[in-house]
Homo-oligomer: A and B are copies of this chain.
Amino acid sequence: MEKEKTDKKDHILDVAEKVFSELGYDGASTRLISGEANVNMAMLNYYFGSKEGLFIAVFERKINLFRTLLQNINEDESLSSWNKLELYIDKYVDRVVANSCFQKLVNREVSLSRHAEINEKITDILMTNVLEFKKVMQEGVDNGSFFEGADIGLCIATIFGTKNYIINTPQVASRMLGKDVLDENFLESELKPRMKIYMKKLLKSYLATEK
């Protein structure tokens, strides 16, 4: 029964992640989540203690999937700073687009000042990625690959912000780009490679600027 229990918990987490992503924390009622998951409402509290506990459980499951993703790139000493940054961008675009609903959820809830505990958890998740990017860019500045006056902090805001903008406001982005950014075909075959090319070129031209 232990195995089934884990399965059921995981199933609830799957559904909760989806519903939370679509409707936000407040908009996703426990009744709806339990209904979608075909479990009794009381099961949510039985397994996760509370709605907030369920929300955090959704997050903690994701962290473990994310954490190791970028870290091993930075340890490869055969790569130049620029190569590393390129690899980071590739991985980042791929991963993030594949989890866009969840990313949206993260960005939405972290911008609210309620639910202090939730907020802290999310900030921690986001920081792990931020710091990985920062490390490789700072290294590039230090070894002279990138120009000395480069504003690393704002560069990172650009990398994450550009992506977030498309993910978080797809209606606006769709109107702007003339195509539906939620269309899986367009996203995969056109937007993803286009984003990679653009972000590399953008960063390269900036970071290569003469002093």
Q: A residues near B, CB below 8 A?
A: 22-24, 26-27, 104, 107-108, 110-114, 119, 123, 126-127, 130, 134, 151, 153-154, 156-158, 160-166, 168-169, 171-173, 175-178, 194-195, 197-199, 201-202, 205-206, 208-209
Contacts and interface: CB of A to CB of B under 8 A. Distances in A.
A169 B205 contact: no
A123 to B, nearest CB: 5
Contacts of A169: 107, 110-111, 123, 126
B161 A27 contact: no
Nearest to A26: B26
Contact of A165 (B160, B171, B195): B160
A24 B112 contact: yes
A176 B114 CA distance: 22
A202 B194 contact: no
B111 A107 contact: yes
Contacts of A205: 205-206, 208-209
The winner among A22, A24, A114, A209 for most chain B CB atoms within 10 A is A24
18 contacts: A22-B113, A24-B114, A27-B114, A107-B111, A107-B169, A110-B169, A123-B171, A123-B175, A126-B172, A127-B172, A134-B176, A151-B198, A153-B178, A157-B166, A157-B176, A164-B164, A164-B165, A205-B205
A204 to B, nearest CB: 9
